[in-house]
Amino acid sequence: MTKTILRALAGETLPTPPIWMMRQAGRYLPEYRATRAQAGDFLSLCYNPELAAEVTLQPIRRYGFDAAILFADILLLPQALGADLWFVTGEGPRLSTITTDAEFDKLGKGEMIHDTLNPVYETVKILSKELPAETTLIGFAGAPWTVATYMIAGKGTPDQGPAHALKAENRALFEKIIERLTEGTIDYLSKQVEAGAEVVKIFDSWAGSLKGEDFDKYALEPARIITQEMKARFPGLPVIAFPRQAGDKYIGFHKATGADCVAVDDSVTPEWVAEHVQPAGCVQGNLKNTHMVTGGQGLIDEIRHVVKALSGGPHIFNLGHGITPDADPENVKLMIDTIRNG
């Protein structure tokens, strides 16, 4: 029997939506924290195939999700292109910045990225052997715009201001960065598929800060190029796109990009998604992640609300954004039981 996630991605409406969760391998799980401590630091965990596979498998063992998503980070690609990357405890990632043509010219391209990223492909190979037969393996990458915001600012920013400023001041350089990331993302995802990923997801976490024509040029168009090239290389490969906080721009995103599924955040209601997005294909989402902290009847009621609203078409149940470190593991079990047992 075809895996449930693949059936939903192919457009089938299932009586019970398949379930996985963004950041399901994460700090809310005590076994993850133990393995991360064993690795020494976050990047060491990402680049250790055995340990990265182990943390990917942990939520599958504990909960029986319908999909596992490769444990990695969206900033491994800029590191592979030649940017310096490190993590500051309590503050998050830091990168050497790309704000001038001279800095851009130091970046690599093409096959060279695989020297750095080979451990990630080894993780995928381990997972493709060790995952249960019914579990779908999802590979992923950050979308070019979102990754560019970190490369330009050197860190995460609340408004992606440095990237917007470079776009306004040196559009030619900005577009070269987007183009280089688009090419690199295709090569990176291709190697993940060759290693065993069955689905790929493109995370555009900061898509919502692009407005109007800029959204079309720098969120939608790179997603279209990546999706079409991946499908040309791997016919039948399902692609999930997540242009977070796209609002009305979610409408038509399936058709414009060729994505099989559009993941939606919790800034839109499931009823709105059912009316405006789901008719075009599978949707993924969109429980508010704070419910995984608060739990209780509120969690149960909201799960039932999302499932009912999206029951008329293909749907993969997920959160509107990643699960947070303060979430209660018991609430994850409650979520799965509520969906599967009614």
Other CB atoms closer than 10 Å to residue 1's CB: what's the count? 6
Name the DSSP class of 163.
H
**Which is catalytic among the residues 32, 63, 73, 204?**
73
Residue with tokens 């599967």: 340
36 noted as active-site residue: yes
Residue among 151, 337, 143 at smallest CA distance from 226: 143
Residue among 176, 172, 177, 180 at smallest CA distance from 153: 177
Residue among 240, 337, 214, 176 at smallest CA distance from 6: 240
**Which is catalytic among the residues 32, 36, 47, 224?**
36
Angle, alpha carbons 291-296-299 (nearest 5°)? 40
Measured between alpha carbons, how far is 11 from 279 in angstroms, rounded to an integer? 10
340 noted as active-site residue: no
Determine how β-strand 199-204 pairs with β-strand 239-243.
parallel
DSSP string, 57-121: HHHHHHH--SEEE----TTHHHHHHT--EEEETTTEEEE----SHHHHHT---GGGHHHHHHHHH
**Which is catalytic among the residues 32, 47, 63, 150?**
150
**Which is catalytic among the residues 7, 27, 33, 62?**
27
User: What are the backbone angles phi and psi of residue 218, rounded to the nearest 5°?
Assistant: -115, -10
328 noted as active-site residue: no
73 noted as active-site residue: yes
Prior bond of 286 cis (ω within 30°) = yes
Give Cβ neighbours of residue 319 (< 8 Å, ≥ 6 apart). Answer: 21, 22, 266, 285, 286, 287, 288, 289, 292
Measured between alpha carbons, how far is 152 from 177 in angstroms, rounded to an integer? 9
Spatial contact of 154 and 121, defined as CB atoms under 8 Å apart:
no
Angle, alpha carbons 75-80-82 (nearest 5°)? 100
Enzyme catalytic residues = 23, 27, 36, 73, 150
